[in-house]
Chains A and B, each alone.
Chain A
Amino acid sequence: MSFLIGENMTGGYGGADILKGCTVDVDEGEIAVIVGPNGAGKSTAMRAMLGMLELKSGSVRFRGKEITHLSTQARIAEGIAFVPQTNNVFVNMTVLENLEMGAFLRQDDFRETIEQVFELFPILAEKQNQLAGELSGGQRQQVAFGRALMSQPRVLMLDEPTAGVSPIVMDDLFERILEVRQSGVAILMVEQNARQALSIADKGFVLVIGENRHTDTGAALLADPEVKRSFLGG
């Protein structure tokens, strides 16, 4: 049984169904990557698992517990954190305040977690009193990542964490994602850079128009000639 699973998910935002019975799951200490062409419903699948859209059918289970009808807020409280692709920092708040907001639901002392985030992203320690809105795209992405880690989540969902950042920053972010996996967090992410993402993935899901096309380990998908031809540009 998977740690977090969205099974046979069907639904969309009103209108036509974007998801047509797709299944995505992730286990502790594992990186699962959702790849696929534009409009395949990659982000939608992730949002459905967060409760940001109503499913017509299918279910979402977390640690064996049915959470299909829980609100997003309740799922966050259960230990799922999400980094949206855009607008993922509080631009008028300092880096430190952004991190504090990530720990909003925690009642215990979270200074240690702040130190851990600073260790992971040293640039944030340097800029802790600067407004997040004044940072570069890559640094913002780090703030967003750090904010999500502050809640000490069991599952971390990342929606295209490397969109719009330079290749160097991208490599660095992937490094950090691997480090976070070490601590036993389940990581589920949607990525445009399919090749690189699959290379660090334990599990990959190739979605096409809301359905699972291929599901295998990252390495196996990278080696699959059909996946290569259709989705990785040969």
Chain B
Amino acid sequence: METITDFINAFVLLLNFILVPGLAYGSQIALGALGITLVYGILRFANFAHGDTMAFGTMVTILVTWWLQSLGITFGLLPTALLALPAGIVATVLILLITDKLVYQHYRRVKTPAVTLLIVSMGVMFMMNGIVRFIIGPNDQRFLDGERFIIHARSFKAMTGLNEGLSIKVSQGITIFIAILLVVALFWFLQKTRTGKAMRAYSDNEDLALLSGVNPDRVVLITWIIVAILATVAGTLYGLDKSFKPFTYLQLLLPMFAAAIVGGVGNPIGAILGGFVIAFSELIVTYAYKKVFVYLLPVSLEPSNLMQLLSTDYKFAVSFFILVLVLLIKPTGILKGNVI
């Protein structure tokens, strides 16, 4: 009996520290990578401003959240930020469309090579980054309110009588729920609607899409709108789950790009797959397994160190390593995408 309980305890540890956070973090990365992959597939450049677009959308959401809170409006058990999300999305749609008009449109007209557009997007990134820091400041902002936990570790322990608790945060629950909802909606749109098919056709073969009568300006417009929705939702969910700090969003570029490329850039299913590959790799490599081994191994074999492969400080090295590995072995990604 003792060994079975030990085994279950070890299992709950892994659930609590790897599976649940991995699903939430993976969903956030996947949503971000989807935005990157859509821009790459349709507008044909690697958008380095995507992380800061997420920061911008999140910032607006936070400001509106604070305003709602100051009016005494909350969302009950759920975070108020969900009510503010539509405002954040609208603001992000606007700023992306303005950016496109002022910056990208010109480069599209003169048919600039993708590498130049990548550099252009870095310029946009710095501008966007500056705007966000100027308005909300470079510091950490917390904006999570409402109920904190769906399942609390303490009540889980009381319920099951186990030593280890399993906690599922509200922010993790809504992240996974909203991510599924958004991805289903996106795929329905791309597969079933006329506009969605036009976008896929444009991404597949631009010249032939034009010969079929697809209006490129409309495709670009819809793409930016979808990217704004994905970026704002991904950013807000990440901010609710962890916290909001502009610099963190810049750093998120690496795992998000890695996810998009690992899955096969330009391929939406690949971006989702890549998001989870990156998220779980980070958690699996940086988790300290000592307690798990204490449960599983006899006392005599008890590990003396933390049994951690890599310090969490180096978590970005994981994305980088996977990225390099994929580019060396299978540059088209797990599912066949374009070569960057």
Listed in ascending order, the chain A residues whose CB lies under 8 Å from chain B are 72-73, 76-77, 81-82, 84, 87-93, 97, 100-102, 104-105, 147, 151
5 closest Cβ pairs, A-B complex: A105-B213, A90-B204, A101-B212, A104-B212, A92-B204
CB distance from A95 to the nearest CB of B (A): 13
> What sequence of 0s and 1s flags, for each residue 189-221 of chain B, a beta carbon within 8 Å of any chain A beta carbon?
000001001101101110111111111000000
CB distance from B222 to the nearest CB of A (A): 15
Q: Are A82 and B201 in contact (CB under 8 A)?
A: no
Q: How far is the CA of A20 from the CA of B215 in the complex (A)?
A: 32
Q: How far is the CA of A100 from the CA of B205 in the complex (A)?
A: 15
Q: How far is the CA of A100 from the CA of B201 in the complex (A)?
A: 11
Q: Are A73 and B205 in contact (CB under 8 A)?
A: no
Q: Are A90 and B205 in contact (CB under 8 A)?
A: yes
Q: Are B204 and A93 in contact (CB under 8 A)?
A: yes
Contacts of B194 in A (CB 8 A): 104
Q: How far is the CA of A73 from the CA of B211 in the complex (A)?
A: 7
Q: Are B197 and A101 in contact (CB under 8 A)?
A: yes
Q: Are B197 and A76 in contact (CB under 8 A)?
A: no
Q: A90-B201, A90-B204 are in contact. Are A101 and B209 (CB under 8 A)?
A: yes
Contacts of B208 in A (CB 8 A): 84, 87-90, 101
Contacts of A93 in B (CB 8 A): 197, 200-201, 204
A76 CB contact (under 8 Å) in B203, B204, B211:
B211
Q: Are A101 and B201 in contact (CB under 8 A)?
A: yes
Contacts of A105 in B (CB 8 A): 212-213
Q: Are B204 and A84 in contact (CB under 8 A)?
A: no
Q: List 13 A-B contacts (CB under 8 A).
A: A72-B211, A76-B212, A81-B211, A89-B208, A92-B204, A93-B197, A100-B197, A101-B197, A101-B201, A101-B212, A104-B201, A104-B214, A147-B212
Q: Are B198 and A104 in contact (CB under 8 A)?
A: yes
Q: How far is the CA of A105 from the CA of B213 in the complex (A)?
A: 6
Q: How far is the CA of A112 from the CA of B323 in the complex (A)?
A: 48
Contacts of B214 in A (CB 8 A): 101, 104
> What sequence of 0s and 1s flags, for each residue 126-160 of chain B, a beta carbon within 8 Å of any chain A beta carbon?
00000000000000000000000000000000000
CB distance from B40 to the nearest CB of A (A): 14
Contacts of B203 in A (CB 8 A): 92
Q: How far is the CA of A89 from the CA of B211 in the complex (A)?
A: 11
Q: How far is the CA of A84 from the CA of B203 in the complex (A)?
A: 18
Contacts of A151 in B (CB 8 A): 212-213
In the complex, given contacts A73-B210, A93-B201, what are 14 additional A-B residue pairs having Cβ atoms less than 8 angstroms apart? A72-B211, A73-B213, A76-B211, A77-B213, A81-B211, A87-B208, A90-B209, A91-B205, A92-B203, A93-B200, A101-B208, A104-B201, A104-B212, A147-B212
CB distance from A69 to the nearest CB of B (A): 17
Q: How far is the CA of A73 from the CA of B218 in the complex (A)?
A: 14
Q: How far is the CA of A97 from the CA of B202 in the complex (A)?
A: 13
Q: Are A97 and B213 in contact (CB under 8 A)?
A: no
Q: A73-B213, A104-B213, A105-B213 are in contact. Are A92 and B207 (CB under 8 A)?
A: no
Q: How far is the CA of A105 from the CA of B198 in the complex (A)?
A: 11
CB distance from B332 to the nearest CB of A (A): 13
Query: Which partner residue on chain A sits nearest B200 by CB separation?
Result: A93
Contacts of A89 in B (CB 8 A): 205, 208
CB distance from B206 to the nearest CB of A (A): 10
Query: Which partner residue on chain A sits nearest B198 by CB separation?
Result: A104
Q: How far is the CA of A81 from the CA of B212 in the complex (A)?
A: 8
Contacts of B207 in A (CB 8 A): 84, 87
Contacts of A102 in B (CB 8 A): 212
CB distance from A193 to the nearest CB of B (A): 24
Q: How far is the CA of A84 from the CA of B209 in the complex (A)?
A: 12
Q: How far is the CA of A173 from the CA of B158 in the complex (A)?
A: 75
Q: A90-B204, A93-B204 are in contact. Are A82 and B197 (CB under 8 A)?
A: no
Contacts of A101 in B (CB 8 A): 197-198, 201, 208-209, 212, 214
